[in-house]
Structure 1
């Protein structure tokens, strides 16, 4: 088990600690390192970098000025003992992103490989990743993508 910290990217304030998880499994840290955004308490944070420090893993974030937390009405039912990842269709003009598919993983490695992949094939259609997110409010990961051209 390890320790993970989320720190605000603010050098003038000494990179203040926002959240920490201790203990946390290294597999979950890897999943979070793979995400571009964190949603927590209905606030969206954008990852700027990740670091490994003595005795601690760190994700540096800033408040997102472009993204807002969305209350999705169409979401899959939570399954116990699985990692859930939604594939959502991204559009720059949209404020809500339609749910395309929900993946359920029993293995952290499978979830991580999906989050790190630039493309996913679902029902014969190729989706190109635009960003990824860990949504703590809904206890899942989100893979935002556009249909590949």
Structure 2
């Protein structure tokens, strides 16, 4: 196990440490590397890059000034728990992204495949990914997509 750090990316700055997690599993670090955004403490951060250092995974982020944390309810966990991912319809205009489907994964590799997929199919409809976030406050991943 290694350490995972979120560092604030500032142009010409010293990259201050925002958050860290000790003894994180590689699978969780990989899931977080796949996300474009992090929501934590009411703030939305946008990933700028990732790094692998000796005994440490690093995700560099900047505050997403044009984004805000959505006040959605925490998703209901699946019958047997696991990792949760919501598919939400992204719209350029508007701030309410309709919940299309909720996935529950028992396997982190299956979750990773969904997070990294450019397209998902739900109820015979194809969805194209626009971004993915980890919402720590709701303990879920959110896959934003447009209907194709």
The two structures share one fold, judged by TM-score above 0.5: yes
Q: For residues 6-32 of structure 1, give each alpha carbon's deviation from its aligned partner in whole angstroms, at most 9, with x where no partner exists.
A: 000025431000000001111000000
CA distance in 2, matches of 1:90, 1:11: 30
Report the equivalent of 1:138: 138
Q: Secondary structure at the match of 1:13?
A: coil
- After TM superposition, what 4+ stretches of structure 1 lie above 6 angstroms from structure 2? none
Residue equivalent to 2:125: 125
Q: Distance in 1 between matches of 2:69 and 2:11?
A: 26
Matches within 5 A, 1:1-149: 1-73=1-73, 76-79=75-78, 81-148=81-148
Structure 2, unpaired ranges of 5+: none
User: Would you say how many aligned residue pairs link Structure 1 and Structure 2?
Assistant: 147
Q: SS at the partner of 1:72?
A: coil
C-alpha root-mean-square deviation of aligned residues, in Å? Answer: 1.2
Q: Offset at 1:37?
A: 0.1
* Partner SS state of residue 115, structure 1: helix
CA distance in 2, matches of 1:33, 1:100: 24
Structure 1: gaps (5+ residues): none
Q: How far apart, CA to CA, are the structure 1 residues paired with 2:34 and 2:13?
A: 26
